Amino acid sequence: MASIRIRMTNKRRKALVGTAFISPWIIGFFIFALRPMIYSLYLSFQKVKVTPLGIKTNYVGWDNYKYAFVSDTTFVEKVLHYLREMALNVPIIVTFSLIIALLINQKIKMRGIFRTIFFLPVIITSGPVINELLSQGVTNIPNIESYSMFEMVKQSLTPAVANPIMYLFKQIIMVLWFSGVQILIFLAGLQKVDHSLYEAARIDGASPWEAFWKLTLPMLMPLVLVNFIYTIVYISTFALNEIIVMIKDNMFNTTTGFGYATAIAWIYFVLIAIVLAIWSLLLRTRKS
């Protein structure tokens, strides 16, 4: 009996310590993230007017949601574009960061410098740099075609070969700029892999190619999923993302207003959740 009681109190104490560790985060999270989220759900069913005296709301039911799909033609178009981006670019970004991580995990000279450089996008895609680049139109892909390197590709190859290469190059800018943290996550995973496993595999006659598929990839699989989630979230909530810009524009628009903006935000939220669910389902089945 006594031993049971001690275990119970021990368990309870552990739970208490755990709660104490996490409570600062929970309190902040509830006040500044969760509560506003729930309130914004409420607002999405309202017509919201911001007046000098305060915020006036007027219940309109599902009107805001209907408006998004029926009356607002640009929204549906942007959603489709977003979904296409999610289907194509996310796997490209994750694959690319895996390749880069494998390359800079090799024992080559100057690898510290390479690691720094490939981690740079973290500071490029947020803040003043990307704003400046966007306002200068440097991220506009047509401009990049005017550089001589791309001219060379175009002139020396037939259109059938050149176009896919050009497409890849266009994607590469985005892919590179969005893959900083992912490369880091893969690198951390790669360094955990036990070297003796590779030696054992080599003694058994496995080629490096086979070792990658049979050893490295299975071990990195949990991180692949993490990176998929991170990439999707990162692109989706990127401040210059089309749909986000649209939400921002509608927020203080007098005809549509904040209610409509939150309605789009919630639709978008559900979309992101669906995209995440589909990708994690696909990756999970492949694993087993």
Partner 1 sequence: MSYQGTKINPTKFHRSQLKFYVFLIPLAMFMMLPIIFIVFHAFKPVNELFAFPPRFLVQQPTLDNFKDLLGFAGDSGIPFSRYVFNSIIVTLSVMFLSVFMSALAAYALSKMKFKLRAAIFETNTVALMFVPIAVQIPRFLVIDKSGIMDTYLAHILPLLSMPIGLFLMKQFIDQVPDELKEAAVMDGAGEFLVFRKVMLPVIKPALATVAILSFQLVWNNIETSSYYVNDESLKTVSFFMSTLVSQNGNNVAGQGMSAAASLLMFLPNLIIFIFLQSKVMNTMAHSGLK
Interaction residues for partner 1, span 85-124 (CB under 8 A):
100, 103-104, 106-109, 112, 114-124
SS3 at position 204: coil
* ∠ Cα 98 102 106 (to 5°): 165
Nearer to partner 1, 88 or 188 (CB): 188
Q: Which of 37, 80, 281, 282 contacts partner 1 by CB under 8 A?
A: 37
Q: How far is the CB of 2 from partner 1 (least distance, A)?
A: 22
Block residue for tokens 């880069």: 100
192 is an interface residue for partner 1 by CB under 8 A: yes
Could you give the CA distance from residue 220 to residue 237 in angstroms, rounded to a whole number? 25
Q: Which of 50, 80, 165, 200 contacts partner 1 by CB under 8 A?
A: 50
Do residues 126 and 268 touch, judged by C-beta distance below 8 A? no
End-to-end CA distance of the chain: 44
Residues 194-223 binding partner 1 (CB under 8 A) are: 194-195, 208, 223
Q: Say how many residues touch partner 1, by CB under 8 A.
A: 94
Residues 164-183 binding partner 1 (CB under 8 A) are: 172-173, 176-177, 181
| Pattern 233-272, partner 1, x by CB under 8 A | x--xx------x--xx--x------x--xx--xx-xx--x
273 is an interface residue for partner 1 by CB under 8 A: yes
Could you give the CA distance from residue 220 to residue 29 in angstroms, rounded to a whole number? 31
Q: Which of 43, 93, 101, 235 contacts partner 1 by CB under 8 A?
A: 43
Q: How far is the CB of 61 from partner 1 (least distance, A)?
A: 19
58 is an interface residue for partner 1 by CB under 8 A: no
Could you give the CA distance from residue 149 to residue 145 in angstroms, rounded to a whole number? 8
* Partners of residue 50 on adjacent β-strands: 55
Q: How far is the CB of 161 from partner 1 (least distance, A)?
A: 19
Three-state secondary structure along 103-114? HHCCCCCCHHHH
Nearer to partner 1, 126 or 163 (CB): 126
Closest by CA position to 92, among listed 198, 217, 191, 232: 232
Q: 180-192 and 73-104 helices cross at what angle (nearest 10)? A: 40
Nearer to partner 1, 89 or 250 (CB): 250
Q: How far is the CB of 25 from partner 1 (least distance, A)?
A: 4
Q: How far is the CB of 34 from partner 1 (least distance, A)?
A: 7
Residue 90: burial class (beta carbons within 10 Å; 0-12, 13-18, 19+)? buried
Task: Please identify, among the stretches 64-72, 79-87, 158-166, 226-234, the one whose residues bind partner 1 according to the rule CB under 8 A.
Answer: 226-234
Do residues 70 and 158 touch, judged by C-beta distance below 8 A? no
